[in-house]
Each structure stands twice: as structure tokens, then as C-alpha cells.
Amino acid sequence: MTFRVVHYINQFYAGMGGEDTAHVAPSSREGVVGPGLQLQNLLEGEGEVVGTIICGDSYYGENMEKAQAECIEMIKAFEPDILIAGPGFNAGRYGVACGDICAAAGEQLGIPTVTALFAENPGVEMYQKKTFIVETTDSARGMRKALPNMVTLSLKLLKNEKLGPAKEEGYLSRGIRKGFFHEQTGAERAMDMLLKKIRGEEFETELEMPVFKKIKPAAPVKDLSKATIAICTSGGIVPFGNPDHIRVSSAEKYGKYNISELTDLTPENYESIHGGYDRVYANDNPDVVLPLDVMREMEKEGVFGKLHEFVYCTTGTGTAVANAESFGQSIGKDLKEAGVDAVILTAT
Amino acid sequence: MVREIENTAGIPVVQIATIVPIMMTVGANRIVPGVAIPHPVGDPEAGYEGDQKKRRELLNRAFKAMTTQVDEQTIFSE
């Protein structure tokens, strides 16, 4: 039999446009669109891409419940045996949409689902237990390698073939442990691991500890009327001309800019260089991302003590988690030394 | 970034953005849901006054968030 495959992609891979069309509502088309053609070829007749669901990344991100429900209806109409989404690589909104629609299709339609993302995509942590996520590179350069892996895994799932450990199958762990008989007892294996650890050799744990990157909330500001507040953004707002050459995506640095003389951000003094959203609004009025104008008014009204004289800005699209963390540490140190009491950080 | 600023400086950091689950994942402790991805703290389609009003409303919510004691990740939607 030929398996019926439905493919989910965003507006970009459907050839509808980039950020300018990121708000398009879901639509459904018969057959293959964009990367679906290659999926179809790789299925080599064992499966057929019967339909493609297309949704704008911002539409999905901003209306998750609604978008999910609309897409599920469209997927259901094709009576698929499997849903394949993406690959979404390191695109944040697209990755979350791929993970979300896969998780929902698995739960509501009872079909296997496969997507493919870069390990640091926020969609991974959110959905890796609810779908199969094939590991990819961070950009579409990895398309040629991602698609065959997605197809191999999909066919295995469709044929109910036994899966080996996630690492061997090429997908990101779903946090599931399968029991089996090992020729060595647990005590022996533990001792081997310990000796390897002591010798400084590599060893593989049998039970990975989850990494919870959560911190205890800081104490609240006691007296707002005396507080110094800083504003900060990963929305790519920078002085016009981008003097520090901050990258439009995958930023490797942040900028620190003196705003003590400014009361309003305008297209003449500031701009957005962010490569991950439609910049029309932000370039028309950068305050919609970095709210300097109203902060100044409220400072004058005495709502809070003082607006910190510097803003801190970078782009948060495709930025490595390790870089974002180091920006945070460096900004945090700077703010502490300056005696700032609280921060408002906007993100896009 | 939000988590590490708070961790390093030991001061409350309020994040305003649109996709709440991502803010939860990155570990933001005080979360204010924004208007839309390309304009988290404004509503340019509501005209000049509507935009200003929306920005003020969200900033007031951020002030409320930073002056509120929280013990875990908290969403301030009003």
C-alpha cells in the first residue's frame, strides 16, 4: 500500500514570501509544495504526499490555539497516515509551529508525526517528548541531509518497525527509556563508568539528568518612585546605520547606546535591523519595540525614578543560546555596577 | 538573555514578548504578553493615540510585575 503523507510548511517554503507574508492564515493544497517535492522523491513510491498545509509563521505564533485547530481540520481532511512538518532548522517561530502541529496531530488524529529541527530551536524543548524531531543543522543548508533522515524515520514509524535509541536513529531524545537485558549487571556497568570518569575518559550515562534552566525570581522593586529602570531588547533596534554592525540574525554581540538625550525613537535616529520579523512597523516607529517615548513620559510623571541612560540591544533570531546567555551575563554585570533596580526587556 | 541578566544582576527583569511558551522555556520569571511579534509594545494600527495608550498599558503592567513578589514564573496578563 502507499502511505498517505501530509506535509506542513511555512509561507517561506511555500514560495509565498518572507516576513511580508508571515501573517497569512493556514491554507491547504493538494499534493506537494516546495520541499515536499523532494520528500515525495525520497519516499520512492512507498508513500505519497497527498496534501500540503501552509501557514504564516507569525500567524501561528500569535494565534497558536486557533492556528492549530485550523491546521488540524485541514490535515484531517486528507486522511493521512503520517504528518511530516518542516524541516524548521533554527527558525524559532517555524520550529515552534512544526512541533506544535505535530504534537497536536499525534494526540488528536492518532497518527505518527515527524519534524526536523536544530537542537537549540525552542520548539525542541517544548515538543521533543510529543513528536519525533530529526536533528538538523541550523540553516537550510542542511536540507539535503535532513529530508532523507525524515523519510527513513517516517517509513519506520509507518511500518511499525522497532526503533533503536534516539541517537542511532538520528532524532532528538523523547525522554523514553526502554528496558532490555544487558549481559552485565548494573553494578558492573556503574563501576566501568566510574573508572572511566576517574581516568578522564569519555563515558555515556544511562540516565541523563534533565537540565532545568530556571532561576529563582529576584526580589521585587520596593519603591518604584525611586527606582532606576533600564530598557533592553532582542528586537534588533539600533541607532540608525547600525554603528556596531550587529548581525541581522545569529548575533555575536550586543550594542550599548546612550539615550540620555533622547525622548523619542524616530526613523531618523533609530531603526530595526532584525532579520526575523517584518520591520515595517518598527522602522516607522522604533518605540513599538523599544518603548523609549512612553518610558520618558512616565519618568517625567514620576511613575518611576529614572530611566537608565543606556539601552542594550541585539537581534534574537537564530542567535546561539550560549551567545544569548553571555550577552545576558555581561549586560547584567554592567547594570549591577550602574545600580539599576529593574529591567524591561522586549523581544520579538 | 533575560534569565542571565536577572541571575547576574540580581534584579527583576520583566520580559514583554508575544510567544509566551518561548518565554517560559527560556526561563523568564516575570512575563507580560505583548501585542504582536513585529510590535510587542505598541499597536501601530490603532493610530497614534491608540498606539501610545497600548504602550502605556503594557509598561504599567511591567511595573506591576517588577514590584510584585513572585516565587515562580508568572504571567501578568492584566
Which of A169, A201, A235 lies at the terminal end of a domain, its last residue?
A: A169
Q: Are residues A91 and A239 in the same domain?
A: no
Whether residue A119 is contained in a domain is answered as: yes
Domain tally for chain A?
2
Bridge partners of residue A117, in order along the sequence: A89, A135
Residue A23 counted as domain residue: yes
Cell numbers found for residue A102: 505535530
A237 & A93 share domain: no
In a domain, A278, yes or no: yes
Within a domain: residue A302?
Answer: yes
Q: Are residues A162 and A232 in the same domain?
A: no
**Residues 61..100 of A with a Cβ closer than 8 Å to B: which?**
61-62, 64, 92-93, 96
A297 is a domain residue: yes
Asked if B40 has any chain A CB less than 8 Å from its own CB, the reply is yes
Count A/B contacts: CB-CB distance under 8 Å.
Answer: 212
Whether A165 and A22 map to the same domain: the answer is yes
Q: Kindly state whether residues A69 and A147 are assigned to the same domain.
A: yes
Find, in chain B, the residue whose alpha carbon is nearest to that of A220. Answer: B67
Residue A97 lies in a domain: yes
Of the three residues A153, A169, A185, the one that is the final residue of a domain is A169
- Interface pTM, i.e. ipTM: 0.98
**Searching chain B, which residue's CA lies closest to the CA of residue A123?**
B22
Give the integer Cα–Cα distance in Å for B45 and B62: 22
Q: A341 in a domain, yes or no?
A: yes
pLDDT in tens, B14-67: 999 999 988 998 899 999 999 999 999 999 999 999 999 999 999 999 999 999
Q: Whole-angstrom Cα distance, residue A243 to residue A247?
A: 11
Asked if B10's CB is within 8 angstroms of A218's CB, the reply is yes
- Which residues 176-215 of A have a C-beta within 8 angstroms of B? 213-215
- How far apart CA B6 and CA B20 sit, in angstroms, is 18
**Looking at the domain assignment, is residue A53 inside a domain?**
yes
Mutate to test the interface with B, among A68, A281, A331 (most CBs of B within 10 A): A281
Q: How many domains does chain B have?
A: 1
How big is chain A, counted in residues?
348
For A136, phi then psi, to 5°, come to -125, 175
Same domain? A246 vs A144: no
Residue with cell 494526540: A107
CB A60 within 8 A of CB A97: yes
User: Which domain does A313 fall in, by range?
Assistant: 224-346
What are the chain B neighbours of A314 within 8 Å (beta carbons)? 1
pLDDT in tens, A284-339: 999 999 999 999 999 999 999 999 999 999 999 988 888 899 999 999 999 999 99
Residues A151 and A282 in one domain: no
CA atoms within 13 A on the CB side of A295: 31
Which residues span the domain enclosing B13? 2-75
Q: Taking a contact as any Cβ pair under 8 Å apart, which residues of chain B between 42 and 61 contact chain A?
A: 42-44, 51-52, 55-56, 58-60
Is the CB of residue A289 less than 8 Å away from at least one CB of chain B?
A: yes
Say if residue A49 is in the same domain as residue A139.
yes
Of B1, B37, B59, the CB nearest to A327: B1
Query: Are A33 and A147 part of one and the same domain?
Result: yes
CATH number of the domain within which A149 lies: 3.40.50.2300
- A136-161 per-position pLDDT tens digit: 999 999 999 999 999 999 999 999 99
